[in-house]
């Protein structure tokens, strides 16, 4: 199967860092397996960093471990420069960060647990699915 471009919502990353069981963690472990290509922008990465470090005390990881994971994500992801802002398109401006990366990268999928927050992105040819749905569709 050809790798597809995807964008992860921050809630998927936080969930993956909370527990080693579940679809979010499995998806995080497969970031560099060649089945999909993760896409980020500077604003989206800063959102990842802000939320995960704020949640640090609730996570079973040390701050240094979280920073290592974030650095790895930055290393293996396609970095996208956003030249056209779609804001405000969605109700939450943080979700607009995800949408902008998805549109710019021609991503076919946004992976999130909050599918209702992305209503209307199908107009861009983007599907919104959960980590489990993504893994099941890709046969992972």
Burial of 126 from C-beta contacts in 10 A (0-12 / 13-18 / 19+): buried
Burial of 60 from C-beta contacts in 10 A (0-12 / 13-18 / 19+): exposed
Per-residue pLDDT tens digits for 8-55: 999 999 999 999 999 999 999 999 899 999 999 999 999 999 999 998
Radius of gyration of the chain from its Cα atoms, rounded to whole angstroms:
14
- Residues 116 and 26: their CA atoms lie apart, in Å, by 23
Per-residue pLDDT tens digits for 65-117: 999 999 999 999 999 998 766 566 667 667 888 999 999 999 999 999 999 99
Query: Which tokens hold the place of 64?
Result: 């240094």
Count how many residues are written for the chain.
140
| Of 82, 74, 131, residue with least CA distance to 103 | 82
Q: Does domain 4-138 have CATH number 3.40.50.1010?
A: yes
Looking at 9-123, which runs of residues are DSSP E strands?
36-40, 78-79, 109-111
Residue ranges covered by each domain of the chain: 4-138
Name the percent of the chain in helix, strand, coil, to the closest 5: 55, 15, 35
- Please tell me the pTM assigned to this model: 0.92
């Amino acid at each position: 199967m050809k790798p597809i471009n995807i964008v992860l919502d921050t809630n998927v990353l936080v969930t993956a860092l909370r527990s080693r069981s579940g679809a979010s963690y499995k998806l995080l472990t497969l970031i560099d397996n060649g089945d999909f290509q993760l896409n980020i922008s500077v604003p989206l990465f800063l959102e990842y960093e802000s939320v995960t470090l704020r949640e640090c005390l609730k996570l079973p990881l040390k701050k240094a471990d979280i920073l290592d994971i974030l650095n790895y994500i930055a290393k293996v992801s396609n970095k996208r420069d956003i030249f056209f802002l779609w804001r405000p398109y969605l109700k939450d401006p943080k979700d607009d960060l995800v949408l902008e990366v998805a549109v710019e990268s021609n991503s076919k999928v946004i992976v999130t647990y909050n599918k209702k927050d992305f209503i209307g992105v199908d107009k861009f040819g983007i599907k919104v699915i959960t980590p489990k749905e993504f893994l099941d569709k890709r046969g992972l």
